[in-house]
């Protein structure tokens, strides 16, 4: 169990100033809205008050201390500080100055640490930005039902709460990251997580329902037309590549105004490169989107398919998190708005 590797996770930050002795929960990435909404938009309404998902396991500082004491006593005396997070899947605690602890809050978020431990050290040498890997994996105990992990701490804040000083520079940096990831030999790589295996058409019924339900909140006609255009694309038949699968603002780390790391590889696998176009509508504006596209040089169908995936992700996540996680819902709404602006612009 003393499997030690390196690096880490600051999975969506802003450290809460008090070191905790009471209950508290952080969180992590937003991909899980799609799993929840896949069972019907609004599934999050069944969650208990104060939680994001139905069936969520409560995590507090006392539990984390007990888990550390039983499995990694060398770290139990370090200060434990809750991380205030805009993410959705994990509770995050800062442990001392150099470590963090991440614990899944929902069953669909389990397995990420093991996947990261196995694959990310193999990918990291080929990538131009820092990425996390666990340094230790904890086992279920103390009433907590799943594996959990200790990571190396990354300084900075995510791109939801942090400001990128030079968006054009960030567009180039992310294009280089995505290109490098897609060039890595995919032989033996796993399938992406859950919904990142979907063909675009598999989302059609759910997306159309959400567009109808959001009448008055978005440009309904533009959303329906943009989605219809995406549905007319031929199915992807290309060679699969390594993908991150969730490159939205919450999974990008900013330090001193610069993009420094890509975090949360819960969706990682070998699949459709179009999923990694999401960054273009999550962070960028029309001008810097073109910089990203020119640097990355995806083929036309990958770009347009990526726009369709981005629209579907935004539409699924926005109503799911609108009440429970307004900051992340804001990310989803921005994706919708940018895709629809792009669509209207393309009409001339």
Instruction: State the average pLDDT over residues 47-72.
Output: 79
pLDDT of residue 56: 81
Q: Which residues contact 77 (CB under 8 A, 6 or more apart)?
A: none
Query: Percent of the chain having pLDDT more than 90?
Result: 65
Give every CB contact of residue 334 below 8 A, 6+ residues apart in sequence: 249, 281, 282, 314
278-307 burial, b for 16+ CB within 10 Å, e for fewer? Answer: bbbbbbbeeebbebbbeebebeeebbbbbb
- For the chain, the average pLDDT equals 84
pLDDT at 13 over 50: no
- SS3 track for 86-129: CCCCEEEEEECCCEEEEEECCHHHCCHHHHHHHHHHHHHHHCCC
Distance from chain centroid for Cα 36: 15
User: How far is it, in rounded angstroms, from Cα 251 to Cα 296?
Assistant: 19
Banded pLDDT at 108 (limits 50, 70, 90): confident
pLDDT at 1 exceeding the cut of 60: no
Lowest mean pLDDT among 44-53, 176-185, 247-256, 291-300: 44-53
Residue 136 DSSP SS3: strand
pLDDT digits (tens, 9 = 90+) for 324-343: 888 889 999 999 999 999 99
Angle between helices 300-321 and 326-346 (to 10 degrees): 140
pTM of the model: 0.82
**SS3 breakdown of the chain: % helix, strand, coil, rounded to 5?**
45, 15, 40
Per residue in 209-253, pLDDT tens? 999 999 889 999 999 999 999 999 998 989 999 999 999 999 999
Q: Residue 139: what pLDDT?
A: 95
């Amino acid at each position: 169990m003393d499997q030690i590797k390196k690096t880490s996770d600051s999975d969506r930050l802003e450290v809460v100033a008090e070191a905790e002795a009471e209950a508290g929960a952080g969180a992590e990435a937003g991909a899980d809205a799609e799993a929840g909404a896949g069972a019907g938009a609004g599934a999050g309404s069944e969650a208990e008050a104060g939680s994001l998902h139905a069936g969520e396991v409560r995590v507090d500082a006392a539990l984390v201390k007990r888990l550390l004491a039983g499995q990694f006593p060398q770290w139990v005396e370090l200060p434990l500080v809750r991380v205030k997070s805009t993410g959705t899947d994990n509770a995050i605690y800062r442990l001392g100055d150099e470590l963090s602890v991440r614990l899944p809050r929902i069953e669909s978020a389990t397995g990420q640490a093991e996947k990261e431990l196995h694959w990310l050290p193999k990918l990291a040498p080929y990538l131009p930005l820092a990425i996390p890997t666990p340094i230790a994996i904890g086992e279920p105990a103390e009433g907590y039902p799943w594996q959990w992990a200790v990571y190396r701490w990354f300084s900075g804040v995510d791109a939801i709460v942090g400001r990128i000083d030079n968006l054009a520079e960030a567009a180039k940096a992310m294009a280089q990251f995505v290109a490098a990831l897609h060039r890595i030999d995919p032989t033996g790589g796993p399938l992406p997580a859950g919904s990142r295996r979907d063909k675009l058409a598999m989302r059609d019924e759910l997306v159309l329902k959400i567009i109808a339900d959001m009448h008055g909140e978005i440009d309904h006609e533009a959303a329906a037309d943009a989605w219809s255009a995406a549905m007319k694309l031929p199915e992807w038949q290309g060679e699969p590549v390594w993908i991150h699968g969730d490159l939205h603002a919450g999974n990008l780390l900013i330090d001193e105004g610069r993009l420094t790391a890509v975090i949360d590889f819960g969706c990682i696998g070998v699949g459709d490169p179009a999923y990694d176009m999401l960054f273009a509508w999550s962070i960028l504006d029309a001008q810097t989107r073109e910089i990203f596209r020119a640097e990355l040089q995806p083929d036309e169908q990958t770009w347009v398919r990526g726009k369709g995936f981005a629209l579907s992700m935004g539409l699924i996540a926005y109503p799911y998190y609108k009440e429970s996680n307004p900051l992340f819902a804001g990310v989803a709404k921005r994706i919708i708005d940018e895709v629809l602006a792009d669509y209207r612009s393309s009409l001339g």
